[in-house]
């Protein structure tokens, strides 16, 4: 039963910095609620006997009702201890997770769900601000080493847990800086790189060794890794973006969204200068093909770079504003989500299929994108897009960005050298313990599961670390 306290307060979100301010920099756009407001928001929690947010929705099984109860009483430090007992990096997901927990919040059946993500963000930031979060080197020292290949969400989660269990952990990454997708794939206005560096430095103090600018299987051999590590965790993520097979695809000015976002992030962390960039949207008419989060990230980036115009295309119909009858609670609500980038400008078009890319014959660069509107029809039990006759149109474009998801890990020198088995989608095939087809070689995150959320990659990284521990300790559990 709801108390008076949680009957009074309505859901309140912090909102964003003004559009006029935030489009002129790459700083984080989201504001923070005050301590009083966070306490009020936590008091809305029903403390359910069966908390779907915890057991059904959260891949990390965060203990949400108990955490909210402590925050509602102003006991942030105790709430932090509970949060960190299940979640290694809440400062990341508190900024970029779509909050699966909120989609299954029982309060959301009749009202707006609890602002769980915002509460977790305030808990962890208070932890850093008050120096409650300090390096805690493991008191256990095992004479066994583990190599982790890839420092994205899954790799960091695996490395952190293995280090805490007492293993000597070395993380290898092909990029100049640790962080993987977090560092290079997510815009700074959503996840400030200082937040990532803060956590990396903490892990270093705790004993994790990071070796960057090293491509495993090429710069170092498997023999070298095997001689220095008793087990290996591959966590290279999904590296192969989905391409677009239409006429004109090879014209200059068409790029993968991941490459575009990576270039801007490399600018921010100082690996590139403006003179070295080739994909800037400054003064250009930009078309983004793909209506998901990556496309939204491109939109916000292009606006900040000074694009003349930005249009984002999606082949699927526009999702409803509220749950449809076939999308009941507690299933994740499939609704139209308006990001902070969408509020900054640009145009969104749905049920549009790119047909061909036109270009200037002299410079061999893009100038237009030919499109057609589609309708979705049932065919053999599946929905399929069908072009609508007479609906062809053209969009002027100087820069076209492909943001249509990923098709798998792509080529990987180490995995290919070891001839590791892959599934039908080209992901590394693993057993229930995350072990690949080679004994002692494990895989975690998108490299094994396919493209998914950061929070799921972290959960899989933890699971892989637990399996490595059982493997190296003769079956001992945590």
Output b/e per residue, 401-414; b: 16+ Cβ within 10 A.
bbbbebbbbeebbb
Rounded Cα–Cα distance for residues 161 and 136 (Å): 12
Beta bridge partners of 148: 171, 233
Please tell me the predicted confidence (pLDDT) of residue 478: 66
238: phi then psi, degrees, rounded to nearest 5: -95, 115
Taking residue 35's Cβ as centre, other Cβ atoms within 10 Å add up to: 13
Each residue of 411-446: pLDDT tens digit?
999 999 999 999 999 999 999 999 999 999 999 999
Each residue of 175-201: pLDDT tens digit?
999 999 999 999 999 999 999 999 999
Residue written as tokens 């977090």? Answer: 182
HSE, CB side, 13 Å, CA atoms: give it for residue 245.
Answer: 1
Rounded Cα–Cα distance for residues 121 and 118 (Å): 5
Q: Which CATH class is domain 145-239+407-472?
A: alpha beta
Residue 15: band (very low, low, confident or very high) from pLDDT cuts 50, 70, 90: very high
Each residue of 276-295: pLDDT tens digit?
889 999 999 999 999 999 99
Each residue of 350-364: pLDDT tens digit?
999 999 999 988 889
Name the architecture of domain 4-129. Orthogonal Bundle (1.10)
Query: Which pair of tokens denotes residue 38?
Result: 């966070």
CA distances from 106 to 51, 312, 330, 372, 409 (A): 7, 34, 8, 42, 37
Rounded Cα–Cα distance for residues 53 and 329 (Å): 11
Please tell me the predicted confidence (pLDDT) of residue 4: 42
Mean pLDDT for 298-304 is 98
Contact 178, 151 (CB under 8 A): yes
Q: Is pLDDT above 90 for 3?
A: no
Please tell me the predicted confidence (pLDDT) of residue 8: 73
* Residue among 313, 296, 302, 245 nearest 279 (CA): 302
Q: Is pLDDT above 80 for 7?
A: no
Contact 148, 159 (CB under 8 A): yes
Mean pLDDT for 39-59 is 94
Contact 113, 105 (CB under 8 A): yes
Please tell me the predicted confidence (pLDDT) of residue 5: 43
Taking residue 46's Cβ as centre, other Cβ atoms within 10 Å add up to: 16
Residue written as tokens 């309505």? Answer: 10
Query: Which pair of tokens denotes residue 250?
Result: 């090879």
Contact 429, 192 (CB under 8 A): no
The CA-CA-CA angle for residues 209, 211, 212, to 5°, reads 140
Residue written as tokens 């009020």? Answer: 40
Please tell me the predicted confidence (pLDDT) of residue 1: 39
Query: Domain extents for the chain?
Result: 4-129, 145-239+407-472, 243-404
Rounded Cα–Cα distance for residues 69 and 263 (Å): 43
Each residue of 378-410: pLDDT tens digit?
888 889 999 999 999 999 999 999 999 999 999
Residue written as tokens 């700083």? Answer: 27
Query: Which pair of tokens denotes residue 468?
Result: 């490595």
Same fold, 145-239+407-472 and 243-404: yes
Please tell me the predicted confidence (pLDDT) of residue 203: 98
Q: Which CATH class is domain 243-404?
A: alpha beta
Q: Is 233 buried (19+), middle (13-18) or exposed (0-12) by CB count in 10 A?
A: buried
Please tell me the predicted confidence (pLDDT) of residue 446: 97
Each residue of 331-344: pLDDT tens digit?
999 999 999 999 99
């Amino acid at each position: 039963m709801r108390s008076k306290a949680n009957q009074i307060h309505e859901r309140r979100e912090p909102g964003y910095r003004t559009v006029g301010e935030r489009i002129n920099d790459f700083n984080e756009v989201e504001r923070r609620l005050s301590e009083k407001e966070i306490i009020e928001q936590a008091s809305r929690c029903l403390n359910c006997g069966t908390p779907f947010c915890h057991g059904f929705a959260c891949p990390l099984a965060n203990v949400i009702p108990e955490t909210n109860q402590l925050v509602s009483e102003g006991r942030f430090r105790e709430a932090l201890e509970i949060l960190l007992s299940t979640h290694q990096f809440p400062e990341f997901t508190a900024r970029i997770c779509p909050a699966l927990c909120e989609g299954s919040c029982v309060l959301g059946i009749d009202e707006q769900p609890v602002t769980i993500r915002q509460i977790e963000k305030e808990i962890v930031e208070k932890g850093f601000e008050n120096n409650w979060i300090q390096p805690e080197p493991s008191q256990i020292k095992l004479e066994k080493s583990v190599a982790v290949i890839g420092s994205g969400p899954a790799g960091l989660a695996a490395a952190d847990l293995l280090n805490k269990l007492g293993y000597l952990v070395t993380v290898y990454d092909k990029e100049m800086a640790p962080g993987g997708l977090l560092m290079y794939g997510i815009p700074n206005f959503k996840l400030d790189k200082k937040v990532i560096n803060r956590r990396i430095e903490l892990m270093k103090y705790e004993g994790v060794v990071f070796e960057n600018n090293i491509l495993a299987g090429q710069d170092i051999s498997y023999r070298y890794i095997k001689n220095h590590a008793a087990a290996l965790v591959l966590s290279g993520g999904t590296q192969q973006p989905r391409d677009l097979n239409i006429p004109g695809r090879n014209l200059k000015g068409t790029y993968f969204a991941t490459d575009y976002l990576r270039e801007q992030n490399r600018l921010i962390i100082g690996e590139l200068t403006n003179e070295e960039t080739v994909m800037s949207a400054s003064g250009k008419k930009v078309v983004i093909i793909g209506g998901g989060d990556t496309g939204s990230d491109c939109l916000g980036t292009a606006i900040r770079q000074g694009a003349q115009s930005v249009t984002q295309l999606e082949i699927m119909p526009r999702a409803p504003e509220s749950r449809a009858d076939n999308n009941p609670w507690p299933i994740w609500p499939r609704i139209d989500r308006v990001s902070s980038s969408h509020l900054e400008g640009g145009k969104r078009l749905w049920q549009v299929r790119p047909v061909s890319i036109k270009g200037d014959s002299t410079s061999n660069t893009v100038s237009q994108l030919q499109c057609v509107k589609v309708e979705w029809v049932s065919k053999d039990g599946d929905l399929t897009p069908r072009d609508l006759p007479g609906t062809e149109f053209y969009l002027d474009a100087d820069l076209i960005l492909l943001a249509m998801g990923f098709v798998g890990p792509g080529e990987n020198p180490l995995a290919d050298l070891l001839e590791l088995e892959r599934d039908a989608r080209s992901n590394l095939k693993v057993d229930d313990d995350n072990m690949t087809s080679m004994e002692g070689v494990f895989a975690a995150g998108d490299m094994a599961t396919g493209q998914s959320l950061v929070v799921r990659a972290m959960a899989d990284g933890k699971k892989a670390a637990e399996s490595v521990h059982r493997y190296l300790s003769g079956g001992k559990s945590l």
